[in-house]
Structure 1
Amino acid sequence: MYQLKADNTDALNSALRTKMVEFNAQHFDAQRVPLGYKFTDEQGELVAGISGCVFGNWLMISWLWCSDVARGQGLADKLLTALEQSAIELGATTAQLDTLDFQAKPFYEKRGYSVKYQLNNYPRSGTRYFMEKPL
């Protein structure tokens, strides 16, 4: 007999993700190829970085971050350009990302991204934008 139990742990979340990835892999003809770039300072400390993956025709951008001291120096633009170029070389034709209303929507719009849909009142009073760009 099955038993319903509450489990609010990261371990359950991780196990479910693993199971879904295994299930989905049976139906996809593509593998995720991780990509990332970073800038470090003289001490080797991370000051800016970007990560994502190519999955078939898609560049899926996960994270783009710049430290306060690195902002306004063009590092984010260089990171995004490098990631997009690597994705194109791997066959990606479209880039996808999400950003919040207080993050980088104008930055992405200036670089050709457009909002495909948005979640209003996220998580309560903000907006989460899902954006795409042809590569």
Structure 2
Amino acid sequence: MTVAFEIERIDGADPALPDAVDAILDDAAAALGRPFEGLRVHLRVRDSDGNLLGGLVGAHLQRWFFVKLLAVSPEARGSGIGSLLLRKAEAIARDEGLVGIYLDTFEFQAPRFYVREGYQEIGRLPKVGDAPQRIWFAKQFNSSGSKE
């Protein structure tokens, strides 16, 4: 079967596109007997005036918790907020019976932070020119809910 199509570059002009592409992937995974859990988790930390000090955006993916975003505002860095957000995500993942957490960062961001938090490097993109390396980390839980 031949289908006529055109590839169109949108550059952020269609906010509905990411959800539509997610739906295609979700349907394909479900058809293979591996439906995505789909539960999204958002955590935020605000000061007494309501200013955002940090946050974490994650999701359940095939029994793992994926941390898509973790950030702490410049004025709150070094206060322990990043560690607290990560520990809260770990607690949620354990409580919900997930097998562990994985995430990525760039070499100029926080790889030492994740190692300090007990994460192990599981992969990286090769260094090419001045492009920063992207590094993936994971922490797998054992059956008692602690790290292995």
Scaled by the length of structure 1, what TM-score is found? 0.87
Q: Equivalent residue of 1:62, what SS?
A: strand
* Map of 2:56 onto structure 1: 50
Amino acid at match of 2:136: F
Gaps of 5+ in 1: none
Task: For CA contacts below 8 A with separation 6 or more, give which structure has more relative contact order.
Answer: 1
Q: Compute the TM-score of the two structures, normalised by the length of structure 2.
A: 0.80
Residue 28 of structure 2: which of 1, 23, 45 is its match?
23
Task: Write the deviation string for residues 24-75 of structure 1: whole angstroms up to 9, x where unpaired.
Answer: 2223155122222211122212110112122342111111000000100001
C-alpha separation between the residues in 2 aligned to 1:4 and 1:31?
31
State the Cα deviation string for residues 77-122 of structure 1 (Å, max 9, x = none). Answer: 0110011001100001221101101111100001111111100237
| Residues 97, 123 of structure 1: alpha-carbon distance in 2 compared, 3 angstrom cutoff | farther
- Alignment: residue pair count: 135
Q: CA, structure 1 residues 109+42, in 2 after alignment: closer, same or farther (shift >3 Å)?
A: same
Identity %: 24
Letter of the 1:7 partner, please give it. Answer: E
Query: What amino acid does structure 1 have at the position aligned with 2:30?
Result: A
Partner of 2:7: 6
RMSD: 2.2
Is the Cα–Cα contact under 8 Å of residues 54 and 90 in structure 1 kept in the other structure? no
CA separation of 1:57 and 1:6: change in aligned 2, threshold 3 A: closer
1:85 to 72, 75, 91: 91
Letter in 2 for 1:100: F
Partners of 1:5 and 1:23 lie apart in 2 by 22
State the Cα distance separating 1:13 from its structure 2 match.
Answer: 4.9
